[in-house]
Chains A and B, each alone.
Chain A
Amino acid sequence: MDSYKYILECHDLSKSFGGTHALSNVDIMIRPGTVHALMGENGAGKSTLMKCIIGLHAQDSGTILFEGEPYNAKTPAEAAMRGVAMVHQELNVEPYLTIAENIYLHREDVSGPFLNKKATLKRAQKLLDDFGFDAPAKMEMQSLPLAKAQMVEIIKAVSQNARLIIMDEPTSSLDSEETEHLFQTIRNLKAQGKTIVYISHRMEEIYQICDDYTVFRDGRSVGTGRVADITSADLITLMVGREVKNVFPKTECEIGETALEVRNLTGKGFTDINFQVHKGEILGLTGLVGAGRSETMNAIFGLAPSISGQIFLEGKELKNRSTTQAIANGIVMVNEDRKRYGLCLMRSLRENISLPNLRARQKKMIVNQKREKKECAQYAKEMTVKSAGLEIEALSLSGGNQQKVVLAKWLMANPKVLILDEPTRGVDVGAKAEIHTQICKLAARGIAVIMISSELPEIMGMSDRILVYHEGRINGEILRNDILSGAATQATILAKEFGQ
């Protein structure tokens, strides 16, 4: 009945940001009326591809065909006009508008210059009823639970006559009943001839709902086929095998007594976390984005509250959990979001480095600026910060140098526990190696280091011990010896990340 074999065809698609190739020569074919799984590690290129299709990014080169015709949407609105819609993981809803207003945003009924709210409401209500959605269309969006808000997004896509609907980890915040309901909706949509692109990190879901798969690795599509023809072990093998590009400057150093211990820590995004980290040890934390690694560390550092559980520093329980207290105790954290939590970009390097360290460097309320300047310069030098002096704004530095400034700041605080959340994200290759060297040096001084990283080679090359997170829980521990002996490989870790 269709004049085309594939509803969506991408040929030779490439996209790079700065020097990094997010997509290189990607081909993907999606059959109409199927549910197509997109799989791959963090940063494998799935999201970039979807953003190219939905009109949020423009590809550098390559062509896209939609329903057999050339397709080049420049905005999501244009994509919606052509029949492509996306349900984002972070929902794009207007919380203070009603369901009806959300569905028909920019497509309101009007009579002359005025809104015809009644007509819109009526249309929306009919649509909701058709879907068996049991809430009145005049309800405010913010009062809906997440699963229902997501359903509204899907209904909205259908109301725009979308033939291709992209769902980005739609079940990540749903419970099992809600997930089943979503799957039923997906099956209904499929029966109506709609095509779904389904991004998920949950292996069992792929087998439950998807027909085809495409696996991404390092910005390339490395395998595609029918889900029925492949085992989950083979899928994982496809996903791993990222090249190890640099050798890590890991130095073996003596691991001392316990510095930090966490018992049964539970909070938003993580449940019942238990671990210890020792002086001189580098503890790697890995897992998929949203698995709860950063959330746990934010709670330990005091940036976010925890619900229950205990934290011990050198055997003493920490009660007051504010960042101020954590730093005073010797727990410091390099946040993954450097621009937001790392630096005051318009202030000087000196002020940034000394910010948490002023208390000990004042005499009768006045900051000893001579000493401050001297010490900041000393720590900046130790961290090999490259800049035209310390009085320039942090803004003018490259990502790698900014990260070194953050490290210098915490080094000056003389920490016992150093938490690093994606310490080399957005850092060029050269600076990356330098940062790795510094991290090893800090561990050698007896600082207990906890390093979160999504890059398996980094986590495997640097850590003395690795904890793998899966959906808010620790799903396995891997020792450096197992990695060195080859008993544990990237596939072992990735399988744990996917909950196997």
Chain B
Amino acid sequence: MGRLRREKILGMDQTDFTLFMRRYGIGLVLVAMCIFLTFASPNFTKPTNLLSILNSVAVNGCIAFGMCVVITGGGIDLSVGSMLALGSVMVGKMLDTTGNNLIACVVCIAICTFFGLINGLLLAKFDLFPFVVTLATQLSIRGIGYLISGGYSEGLSNVKFTNIGIGKSFGIPNAVFFLVAILIVTYILMHQTKFGRYDYAIGGNRAAAIASGVPVFWTTVGTYVFSGFCTGVAAVLMSARINAAQPNIGIGYETDAIAACVIGGTSFAGGISTIPGCMIGILMIGVIYNGMNLLGVNSYWQTILKGLLILLALLLDRFMNRKH
């Protein structure tokens, strides 16, 4: 087949370059931000600070990767915050009854995955709107968390467990390893397996996916199961970090996860996203918080600025993907 254009930019074909910019243009914004912070605050580039940024985004990051998979398929999962709380409560219960870290982690992740399955089955089977379904299950899941815990928060006394969230290995916070593991798994899932390809196809054009024989039902269910799984991992990290099993945590966490996806170039209409892009979005949120803390911006302003940043990312996306 004939190549139509051959102009080169930065050693790339023009079409490749456009594609690269569209996908990772937001990365340049992140780089610009980091350069600015390097000059504005001497502490920014210190290794401890950089690691603390990574550490701080770990919980949100895990959730965001699951969210990215769901949004790519044209869905949304609003129940992740409640799952986080229920997962945390389950960790407390399991440590109380068995005292075994592994069982606590497995049960926590399993329960979140299970509710992801419920979400997926409900909306795929009855062809319901994901927004409404997860809005509803979000309430019920949180209720279950309160019911099991009796509404009380419970401190964890198991040092080994809390080590997962606050300890370090090779000088790097443990949570970062979890984040990287989820990043790799999601990357492979979305960019190298047929499940990922089906997910992109369903989000991009559901009718065409059906007409190409894509198993739409199970792929859709799969995305919510994966979101549940990722949230389960996040719940383990979160419980260990706050050293408590709390039924009231995770409120507003879906917003941060969605924000990371959107900043990272995930199209809300479905069908467009990249996992590296999502990682950039996750880092960006971390850098914004960190930068504003270093510069002494108060937390109310931080929230306002985060909202503005999401809008900016959307406008940037619109500008870059003008054809859509």
B211 near A333 with CB under 8 A, answer yes
B4 near A409 with CB under 8 A, answer no
A491 CA to B247 CA, complexed, in Å: 77
Q: Chain A interface: which of B110-118, B199-207, B293-301, B312-320?
A: B199-207
A359 near B208 with CB under 8 A, answer no
B177 to chain A, nearest CB (A): 23
B73 to chain A, nearest CB (A): 12
A296 to chain B, nearest CB (A): 16
Interface size on B, residues (CB 8 A): 33
Which B-chain residue is minimally distant from A387 (CB atoms)?
Answer: B1
Q: Chain A interface: which of B75-83, B91-99, B212-220?
A: B212-220
Given A367-B193, A391-B19, check contact A344 B211 (CB 8 Å).
no
Among A326, A384, A389, chain B packs the most CB atoms within 10 A around the CB of: A389
B187 to chain A, nearest CB (A): 12
Contact count band on A: 35 or more
Q: Which of B193-242 contact A (CB under 8 A)?
A: 193-194, 197-198, 200-201, 204-205, 207-215
Which B-chain residue is minimally distant from A343 (CB atoms)?
Answer: B208
A395 CA to B13 CA, complexed, in Å: 19
Contact partner, A386, options B2, B197, B207, B272, Cβ 8 Å: B2
A427 to chain B, nearest CB (A): 18
B229 to chain A, nearest CB (A): 16
A281 to chain B, nearest CB (A): 24
A383 CA to B20 CA, complexed, in Å: 28
Q: Is B32's CB within 8 Å of the partner chain A?
A: no
Contact partner, A387, options B4, B211, B215, Cβ 8 Å: B4
Chain A residue contacts of B4, Cβ below 8 A: 386-388
Q: Is B5's CB within 8 Å of the partner chain A?
A: yes
A365 near B213 with CB under 8 A, answer no
Chain A residue contacts of B205, Cβ below 8 A: 340, 343-345
A347 near B200 with CB under 8 A, answer yes
Contact with B along A327-358 (1 / 0, CB 8 A): 11000010100001111111100010011101
A176 CA to B271 CA, complexed, in Å: 47
Q: Is B192's CB within 8 Å of the partner chain A?
A: yes
Which A-chain residue is minimally distant from B3 (CB atoms)?
Answer: A388
A355 near B193 with CB under 8 A, answer no
Q: Is B46's CB within 8 Å of the partner chain A?
A: no
Chain A residue contacts of B3, Cβ below 8 A: 388-389
Given A324-B213, A356-B214, check contact A344 B201 (CB 8 Å).
yes
Chain B residue contacts of A362, Cβ below 8 A: 193-194
A346 to chain B, nearest CB (A): 5
A335 near B1 with CB under 8 A, answer no
Q: Is B188's CB within 8 Å of the partner chain A?
A: yes
Contact partner, B210, options A323, A347, A351, Cβ 8 Å: A323
Contact with B along A370-400 (1 / 0, CB 8 A): 0000000100110011111111100110000
A425 CA to B60 CA, complexed, in Å: 48
B204 near A341 with CB under 8 A, answer no
A211 CA to B26 CA, complexed, in Å: 67
A369 near B192 with CB under 8 A, answer yes
Given A358-B197, A380-B1, check contact A391 B209 (CB 8 Å).
no
Q: Is A303's CB within 8 Å of the partner chain B?
A: yes
B11 to chain A, nearest CB (A): 16
Chain A residue contacts of B211, Cβ below 8 A: 301, 303, 323, 333, 335, 341-342
Given A387-B4, A388-B15, A391-B19, check contact A341 B271 (CB 8 Å).
no
Given A343-B208, A344-B209, A345-B204, check contact A324 B215 (CB 8 Å).
yes
Which A-chain residue is minimally distant from B192 (CB atoms)?
Answer: A366
Given A355-B209, A358-B194, A385-B1, check contact A344 B15 (CB 8 Å).
no
Q: Which of B11-61 contact A (CB under 8 A)?
A: 13, 15-16, 19
Contact partner, B212, options A356, A377, A385, A396, Cβ 8 Å: A356
A367 near B207 with CB under 8 A, answer no
Contact with B along A434-471 (1 / 0, CB 8 A): 00000000000000000000000000000000000000
A345 CA to B4 CA, complexed, in Å: 19
A341 near B323 with CB under 8 A, answer no
Which A-chain residue is minimally distant from B194 (CB atoms)?
Answer: A358
Chain B residue contacts of A389, Cβ below 8 A: 1, 3, 13, 15
A327 near B212 with CB under 8 A, answer yes
What would 12 A/B residue contacts be, using CB atoms closer than 8 Å? Answer: A301-B211, A303-B210, A323-B211, A340-B205, A340-B208, A344-B209, A365-B194, A369-B192, A384-B1, A385-B1, A388-B5, A388-B15
Given A343-B208, A389-B13, 16 extra CB contacts under 8 A = A326-B213, A341-B208, A344-B204, A345-B205, A346-B204, A347-B200, A351-B200, A351-B201, A356-B212, A358-B197, A366-B188, A377-B1, A388-B4, A389-B1, A389-B15, A409-B212
